[in-house]
Amino acid sequence: MSKYIIRGGEPLCGDIKIKGAKNSVLTLLAACVLVDDVVTLHDCPHISDVDTMIAILRRLGCRIVRNGDDVTVDSRDISCEKIPSGLASELRSSVFLLGSLLSRLKKAKVAYPGGCDIGLRPIDIHLSGLRELGVRIIEKHGYIDCDSSKAHSADIMLDLPSVGATENMIMTCVFLDGVSVIRNCAKEPEIVDLQNFLNRTGAKIEGAGTGVIRIEGVSSLRGTEYTPIPDRIVAGTYLIGAAMCGGELCLSNVNPEHLSSLLAKLPKSACKVTCARDKINIICKGRCESIPKVETTYYPGFPTDLQTQILTLQTVSKGTSVIVENIFETRFKTVPQLLKMGADVTVNGRTAVVRGVESLTGAEVSATDLRGGASLVLAGMCAQGETRIDNVYHIDRGYEDLSQILSSAGVKIKRID
């Protein structure tokens, strides 16, 4: 089993180019099913979640060629509507294929999705929206069996601004006669990216990035080439790493607007941040002051996918911080691993109180999920002595060549396979 070995204490210095966003690329790959033609997506990261989605699409009948960072999808021969449990259990984003399969084949059978164990992520919102569109749904034996032969346009109100449900509704409505309206939508940049991609192929969608999205049905979509947005969570992870370790880091191919909630939180006493159109420079000197309170919420608020990383920064900052997790109830699963490294964190339900210590100490720890695993890497980078992290397959789901990238930026890290 692969593990990282990190010798802490080195500053983070250098240039890092950010690849396409995992959470956007996975959805765009699912959306390729809607296009009865050839689509090429550029700047796709080499991560295991993308590999799994490609495997699922091939199982459905798509022909896919990967050439470096480019992925070309030909879905003209797609015929299978069933996603088996073995693949669906590896990837939460497999549920996004419900909408695209229902639009393309008028039926879909999807095993309940997997992904990181960070709490309940019910798909009731997805299924409720589909039922409002006239989709017949039967849930049995671990599968969701859907038939959209009698689907129709509708005005849908989502119970929560769920990113996945918003994306599923968009893809389900693309070919429906008339106009469909989705209210209380998620506003994340990945929603805007999906709209921009589909409109490039001939869809008629407007309103992404706001609380109301309007979809006018079309008869077909054409092939295209498209470059997804850069990964704001990967970029945020590296920025937090610089704040913890000190140094001077330049991120390129990044959208500062997508990271505004993090940039507003980075301690200005120790960090100087400058932003250009597609670059962020950060210079950090000295120990950071604690952030009094961080509370996760829907975009444009502070993202849950950066919560564990910002908590890890607080473990070595001056003072006390309160972290409130409002999205996933078990996002604090990494705290026991941080305690092994000398952190002072108390968790009560969805709230963690973090009292900063002078430094962490290297230890043998285990990644329990994607973002938690990345946070342990950050902790190891600034800890005294050696840190060994196992179960790094979790990290592979969302970070391409993490050890190589960090090594190029001065971190003493190696991967043992």
Q: What is the pLDDT of residues 337-372, one digit of tens each?
A: 999 999 999 999 999 999 999 999 999 999 999 999
Residue 116's pLDDT is: 43
Residue 84's pLDDT is: 67
Overall average pLDDT of the 235-264 stretch: 97
Residue 338's nearest CA partner among 358, 367, 317, 318 is: 367
Q: Which of 32, 62, 116, 173 is catalytic?
A: 116
pLDDT digits (tens, 9 = 90+) for 286-303: 999 999 999 999 999 999
Is residue 83 within 8 Å of 33, Cβ to Cβ? Answer: no
The angle, 0 to 180 degrees and rounded to 10, between the axes of the packed helices 163-173 and 97-105 is: 10
* Region of poorest pLDDT, from 2-16, 81-95, 115-129: 115-129
Does this model's pTM top 0.75? My answer is: yes
- What's the CA angle centered on 234, arms 322 and 53, to 5 degrees? 120
Give the type of residue at 319: G
For residue 116, indicate whether it is catalytic.
yes
Residue 121's pLDDT is: 46
Residue 378's nearest CA partner among 308, 288, 290, 281 is: 308
Residue 407's pLDDT is: 97
Percent of the chain scored above 70 by pLDDT? Answer: 95
pLDDT digits (tens, 9 = 90+) for 122-158: 688 999 999 999 999 998 877 889 999 999 999 999 9
Overall average pLDDT of the 18-40 stretch: 97
Question: How many of the other CB atoms lie within 10 Å of CB of 65?
Answer: 12
Residue 143's pLDDT is: 82
Domains (range + CATH), the chain: 3-18+230-416 (3.65.10.10), 22-226 (3.65.10.10)
pLDDT band, residue 391 (cuts 50/70/90): very high
pLDDT band, residue 250 (cuts 50/70/90): very high
pLDDT digits (tens, 9 = 90+) for 90-106: 666 678 789 999 999 99
Residue 89's pLDDT is: 65
Residue 133's nearest CA partner among 181, 205, 191, 187 is: 181
> Cα 310 to chain center, whole Å?
16
Q: Look over the chain and give the mean of its residue pLDDT values, rounded to a whole number.
A: 93
Give the type of residue at 189: P
Give the type of residue at 331: R
Partnered with residue 109 across adjacent β-strands are: 82, 145
Q: Which of residues 316 and 109 earns the better pLDDT score?
A: 316
Rounded Cα distance, 252 and 258, in Å: 14
- Most confidently modeled of 105-114, 199-208, 261-270, 325-334? 199-208
What is the layout of strands, in order, in the sheet containing 107-111?
Answer: 82-83, 107-111, 143-147, 136-140
Is residue 296 within 8 Å of 325, Cβ to Cβ? Answer: yes
Percent of the chain scored above 90 by pLDDT? Answer: 87
Residue 79's pLDDT is: 86
Overall average pLDDT of the 211-215 stretch: 98
Given a cut of 60, whether residue 118 has pLDDT beyond it is: no
